[in-house]
Structure 1
């Protein structure tokens, strides 16, 4: 039994307290439960580059802590990062429900980066609740059992006669009762129940799980400005830094003159940062750091730097020319990644052939809070405060770059002002560590400006998707060919990697669940010229956009209703083993536990169609579009009503999005995530694009990299949660799956409104021509 010192009762419920190693030595009178409950290993994602190369390695997930202080305060330690998805709240409410805790007495402490102790800490892949719902239930139930056992022992009655409800222990026969805090010390000396001795509540007795009545535990602090994000860190004697990065990926500093920079009031020091040797992984890009007494002085000092750059091998990168290169590759055979039947023969015998190419540009995550981190080095110990999705990866990369052991590095995780995959790459944290080291350990907060974020980030891959279909006399496909051409995330881990890796192939390409007798998916090579990184829903975005747009085109060619045609393509409800159709990854999950269920995909499509009023007559200039997709072991569909004005202006009036994510732990957050996905997906469809000229990013800020503005957001977003309250069934994911079907639903609605098929995102002013 470990002991952890309880948090002070004076701290706000959402205080970002971090659990320290020293804290384990104190805490008399607190019940602390540490369970190691592992999910089945799923390492397919690591096979190509190794576990150490993939911070999102999808490893086993053990160990979280639950503490009850003498005053009755329950503290749940959350080892995943909070970036608006509500994980701190959702994990805590699961524990609180099984514990029979009073929610008003529940707090959350944020774990430090320590994978050996807390298990996998990467917040990605929509898997935090998927992997930790049952472990957290068992943790709460075990703590409840220990409190009951302690009370029974003190009262000299059978444990079966003691009940726990809403933070109170009762013995009905004698009328005795006591609070959790009064029994915490006695319970801490009892053995932790294991296995079948942990009795879970029946779902009918849930008070919080699935009820949708719990708001964000951090909400008051967030809305009143008390919450601590990465940019909010303040330490005594702290300095501030920004970095002048190479304007072209792979570029280096030939020479620099800092004389004028050092004249800027407040500038303290100028520090060169060496670039990494390929592959770049999560290391800094290199460049020159300016350290000052405030961020403004650092920025002005950076502007005064005179730097001569060697732009390196990507100096001529031009996204328009690269698109032509991808299109050329898409028109030739590529590496076969899935094959069933004889596509070529079926194509030759088809009554009609349809082909189309779709293009999606580079995108960037652009979280509201750009990357920021603070590092202090003192007495051989390194302390980090960072908005990071990957605390352990952060710890490891800082230690490696500073040449010290990881045990010398402590990572304090703050709230994240958005992440979307950008903050799983801790290059900016390593930069802060190098600046602190250069200042003799003085704490340094390093900040990326919005321009830094857009110019020097990890970009979502650019993609050309070519689809060909051979149709029979009834207009249904007898042959299907899909070539996906895109630079791979694998390129940051292995120099020269130019094919999509299994993770990317398994995101809506090889696992396309259509009932077509002859299919072939190919993946031609595509070299990377920028850093490719995770972006919310990753390769599901281009694959879903192309496939769901193409389905609508086939429906039009066949003279069929798009929704009915899509359902016919999916075919009857059936269970598909993803491994048997070429997807050995399956989102890191056991395919026996998480097969593809086409019945669930059909149901979300039907739910979205019903919500939008599919088939109804709409005003002239308006149209309805629909799309469905399977990702992160969850099924989603979106239906959109779009109006196209006389000058080609696009208004999205309504979006209905349906989701089947299995049992819903926190419906309020499910709805919020799906609403956010609609707005984000709408931005991808209409406005968002990163382009390159002479190796340099063209877009500078949010005036040119346009996200969906509030006045452009749909007036109505309806979220349809399909019934899934059998808590004995596996959970899906929520954070990422809502994005992929939104853009194709909008584009399909534009076609319905205008008869014009747009195959290139974003739409922008393409309809005004």
Structure 2
């Protein structure tokens, strides 16, 4: 195994003790801790216990004092590796920066059980904490996925990783006490050492590891009280910073294996088109070109380097069977279809009171359509994977968010069993939900199968990446609000038409009710409104849709917070005060909103052409408020400043939380100002960042982030910074210009 720097990801193939030690390059012996073991399974090996008791993460303390942590979550810039290592290190009393991190293998033991808990508890998995959930754990491992998403990494690992550290600390202290023949209660731990201060004795964890491994674990590890935390809420460094600065961090495109070849992709010119004929003679005549591999709806050129592969794609002559249905699908057809469908029956998602009666009795009725376009993920690292198909199985090196689906996809393409597909997870150069798909793994496996025995790195050039995405669904929201004579909001009738993500991913989830990923955040009970109704209409289009950072919240927050602003102005009230009245029973939300307003100087004088907008939204267990200040000049909008306040519950690493909220705001601001996928003849027109614009450094405003001190369970943070920025922006534009924008991207 090649040498690695302390926190550089490396793949492990087997969750058995022997496999972990061998695959991670760990020394034999030492203390090995498995997480999520039910009490009945303590002391058993990973291979002998039932599925529910399989170890879903590992901590190894070697005789050489090396502490190795196998992490089952992908690192795509969100700081998951740092946060999870901090949780473990807090209870183990070690420096997180000295913990060696390895990526876990693809295995049932590592499936994201938290997502199943969250789904079964209406998105509030924290409410299930402490219950006897081994049956639920088993269900999660049977139907769940090993996947990083939904801002679940810290929420899912907060308890289990601290318990693992506490168990290891307990065993180490017991081992030292036995060696010294002293009561364990007289011993303490610090910086990877067990101490007996009265006698000035100390032993390193490595010196105690073998003895500790032979001891029984506590039935219930005793965790440190919050008052004793030294790292959680205070540690502000990242374990991956140095490797990313000095170039040691391996991303997908950095993979280099012996005899490796390189391939570039060329996709069909429209959604639904299939490859009819292919003439590859001119391409094969070019230097370094090894093969042209046909795909169902495209082809790949394999060469001795990526540039030659990309160039040779232009030399291939291909004919395509264009789809007869929707062959001329374009933007106009999209909005005609959504507009025609939004008033049809659909599926009821929520109902409280008699909304039609309340609207009929309202003194003021606001009717509005809000439109949001398809959006691409546009990750900075284009889609790629490296695959080798050999007699001993399949190796996949990939920047993937979804190891389970990657393993299944490679197995299906190559015809080998899943247990013979080894997933090597690299760092991800951006994910945003795009790398939770497995299409790029399947394509790479198909090409590698054709080049049997040689590893092939398959890269999608930017234009192919942009035009063959799983896009954020376009959406049409049709809403009616009713206000009484005093301007109070008494009715909210909401219809939403959009393509369904779950209809593609897990159709059974849509059989009985609406697609939850589409409606999340539309009517979330944040505001006290007596009569409400929400329905969802699934609309099919030729455009493939998928999870995009913050998913349904990315459009529902824009609609909800814009309409609250519309209601405030119709009632001739300050938008901040109006919201606070509707939040009388929501103290956490009020506190966040008031903090954002205070820090932004809400109500202080502005220059001519300036305006401030405010928005509040809860998603993924966190509450975020934003105030955006803009200046309007000659019809153009400049964003002057963004102020963010957030209650993310218990914060593990404040610097990472602040960075993620800032990054989310920039991501959301890019989409609000520029983001749009244009369709013509069932094809995406944007191909690169010249036409699919993202926010540039010169256009990025100062961003201030303020965190509410909270003892609530941790909330997610990778996604909650996205939803509030668009409505805060358009509300600010209205305040500055009097122009109400009900569609994105912004056109003023």
| TM-score of the alignment, normalized to the shorter chain, above 0.5 | yes
Specify the alignment match of 1:246 in structure 2.
268
Q: Distance in 1 between matches of 2:81 and 2:29?
A: 25
Specify the alignment match of 1:280 in structure 2.
none
1:701-748 per-position Cα deviation (integer Å, ceiling 9, x unaligned): 00110111111101x211111111x3xx42211111111000000000
Given that 2:622 and 2:720 are in contact with CA atoms closer than 8 Å, whether structure 1 keeps it comes out as yes
Given that 2:631 and 2:640 are in contact with CA atoms closer than 8 Å, whether structure 1 keeps it comes out as yes
Specify the alignment match of 1:295 in structure 2.
306
Specify the alignment match of 1:608 in structure 2.
596
Deviation of 1:680 (Å): 0.8
Specify the alignment match of 2:134 in structure 1.
none
Task: Name which of 474, 478, 487 aligns with 1:475.
Answer: 487
Q: Which moved more, 1:433-442 or 1:616-625?
A: 433-442
Specify the alignment match of 2:629 in structure 1.
641
Task: Name which of 605, 609, 612 aligns with 1:617.
Answer: 605
1:259-294 per-position Cα deviation (integer Å, ceiling 9, x unaligned): 2111221111111123xxxxxxxxxxx321211111
Specify the alignment match of 2:544 in structure 1.
531
Q: Distance in 1 between matches of 2:383 and 2:111?
A: 24
Deviation of 1:415 (Å): 0.2
Deviation of 1:327 (Å): 2.4
Given that 2:265 and 2:461 are in contact with CA atoms closer than 8 Å, whether structure 1 keeps it comes out as no
Deviation of 1:110 (Å): 1.2
Across the aligned residues of Structure 1 and Structure 2, the Cα RMSD in angstroms comes to 2.1
Within 5 Å, which residues of 2 pair with 1:710-749? 710-714=697-701, 716-724=702-710, 726=711, 729-749=712-732
Given that 1:499 and 1:524 are in contact with CA atoms closer than 8 Å, whether structure 2 keeps it comes out as no
1:116 aligns with 2:109: yes
Task: Name which of 10, 17, 25 aligns with 1:17.
Answer: 10
Specify the alignment match of 1:282 in structure 2.
none
1:43-94 per-position Cα deviation (integer Å, ceiling 9, x unaligned): xxxxxxxxxxxxxxxx999621111122212111111000001111111111
Specify the alignment match of 1:283 in structure 2.
none
Q: Which moved more, 1:27-36 or 1:298-307?
A: 27-36
Q: Distance in 1 between matches of 2:523 and 2:569?
A: 25
Task: Name which of 178, 184, 189 aligns with 2:214.
Answer: 189
Given that 1:81 and 1:87 are in contact with CA atoms closer than 8 Å, whether structure 2 keeps it comes out as yes
Q: Which moved more, 1:661-670 or 1:741-750?
A: 661-670
Deviation of 1:341 (Å): 1.5
Specify the alignment match of 2:127 in structure 1.
none
Q: Which moved more, 1:419-428 or 1:495-504?
A: 495-504
SS of equivalent residue, structure 1 residue 657: strand
1:694 aligns with 2:687: no
Are residues 491 and 250 of structure 1, via their aligned partners in 2, closer, same or farther at CA, if it must alter by over 3 Å? farther
Specify the alignment match of 2:442 in structure 1.
430
1:105-148 per-position Cα deviation (integer Å, ceiling 9, x unaligned): 32111112223356553110001110111100011111111111
Q: Distance in 2 between matches of 1:139 and 1:440?
A: 42
Specify the alignment match of 2:692 in structure 1.
705
SS of equivalent residue, structure 2 residue 443: helix
1:636-669 per-position Cα deviation (integer Å, ceiling 9, x unaligned): 11111111112x2211111111111110011111
Deviation of 1:610 (Å): 1.1
Task: Name which of 664, 671, 675 aligns with 1:684.
Answer: 671
1:203 aligns with 2:216: no
Task: Name which of 204, 218, 221 aligns with 1:179.
Answer: 204
Q: Distance in 2 between matches of 1:118 and 1:384?
A: 18
Given that 2:29 and 2:62 are in contact with CA atoms closer than 8 Å, whether structure 1 keeps it comes out as yes
Q: Distance in 2 between matches of 1:61 and 1:204?
A: 33
1:488 aligns with 2:500: yes
1:229 aligns with 2:251: yes
Q: Distance in 1 between matches of 2:663 and 2:512?
A: 31
Structure 2 unaligned regions, length at least 5: 40-51, 113-144
Q: Distance in 2 between matches of 1:149 and 1:418?
A: 44
Q: Distance in 1 between matches of 2:54 and 2:627?
A: 36
Given that 1:147 and 1:184 are in contact with CA atoms closer than 8 Å, whether structure 2 keeps it comes out as yes
1:159-190 per-position Cα deviation (integer Å, ceiling 9, x unaligned): 11111112121123332211112111221222
Task: Name which of 84, 96, 109 aligns with 2:77.
Answer: 84
1:562 aligns with 2:552: no
Q: Distance in 1 between matches of 2:722 and 2:741?
A: 19
SS of equivalent residue, structure 2 residue 242: helix
Q: Distance in 2 between matches of 1:547 and 1:342?
A: 20
Q: Distance in 1 between matches of 2:454 and 2:391?
A: 11
1:758 aligns with 2:741: yes
1:35 aligns with 2:21: no
Deviation of 1:199 (Å): 1.4
Q: Distance in 1 between matches of 2:336 and 2:519?
A: 25
Within 5 Å, which residues of 2 pair with 1:50-199? 63-116=56-109, 121-195=146-220, 198-199=221-222
Are residues 203 and 723 of structure 1, via their aligned partners in 2, closer, same or farther at CA, if it must alter by over 3 Å? same
Q: Distance in 2 between matches of 1:353 and 1:118?
A: 48
Given that 1:508 and 1:630 are in contact with CA atoms closer than 8 Å, whether structure 2 keeps it comes out as yes
Deviation of 1:498 (Å): 11
Are residues 500 and 271 of structure 1, via their aligned partners in 2, closer, same or farther at CA, if it must alter by over 3 Å? farther
1:220 aligns with 2:242: yes
Q: Structure 2-normalised TM-score?
A: 0.90
Q: Distance in 1 between matches of 2:94 and 2:614?
A: 43
Are residues 38 and 547 of structure 1, via their aligned partners in 2, closer, same or farther at CA, if it must alter by over 3 Å? farther
Structure 1 unaligned regions, length at least 5: 1-6, 40-58, 275-285, 574-597
SS of equivalent residue, structure 1 residue 524: strand
Specify the alignment match of 2:120 in structure 1.
none
Q: Structure 1-normalised TM-score?
A: 0.87
Q: Which moved more, 1:167-176 or 1:628-637?
A: 167-176
Q: Distance in 2 between matches of 1:430 and 1:551?
A: 45
Deviation of 1:37 (Å): 5.2
Given that 2:471 and 2:548 are in contact with CA atoms closer than 8 Å, whether structure 1 keeps it comes out as yes
Are residues 62 and 478 of structure 1, via their aligned partners in 2, closer, same or farther at CA, if it must alter by over 3 Å? farther
Specify the alignment match of 1:659 in structure 2.
646
Moved over 6 A (4+): 59-62, 494-500
Q: Distance in 2 between matches of 1:722 and 1:145?
A: 33
Given that 2:518 and 2:551 are in contact with CA atoms closer than 8 Å, whether structure 1 keeps it comes out as no
Deviation of 1:421 (Å): 0.3
Q: Distance in 1 between matches of 2:38 and 2:151?
A: 17
Deviation of 1:208 (Å): 1.2
Specify the alignment match of 1:420 in structure 2.
432
Q: Distance in 2 between matches of 1:38 and 1:222?
A: 38
Deviation of 1:453 (Å): 1.4
Given that 1:65 and 1:77 are in contact with CA atoms closer than 8 Å, whether structure 2 keeps it comes out as yes
Specify the alignment match of 1:520 in structure 2.
533
1:409-438 per-position Cα deviation (integer Å, ceiling 9, x unaligned): 000000000100000002111111111110
Are residues 230 and 165 of structure 1, via their aligned partners in 2, closer, same or farther at CA, if it must alter by over 3 Å? same
Specify the alignment match of 2:364 in structure 1.
352
Are residues 418 and 505 of structure 1, via their aligned partners in 2, closer, same or farther at CA, if it must alter by over 3 Å? closer
1:557-597 per-position Cα deviation (integer Å, ceiling 9, x unaligned): 1111111112223x322xxxxxxxxxxxxxxxxxxxxxxxx
Specify the alignment match of 1:589 in structure 2.
none
Deviation of 1:355 (Å): 0.9
SS of equivalent residue, structure 2 residue 672: helix
Q: Distance in 2 between matches of 1:237 and 1:667?
A: 44
SS of equivalent residue, structure 1 residue 164: strand
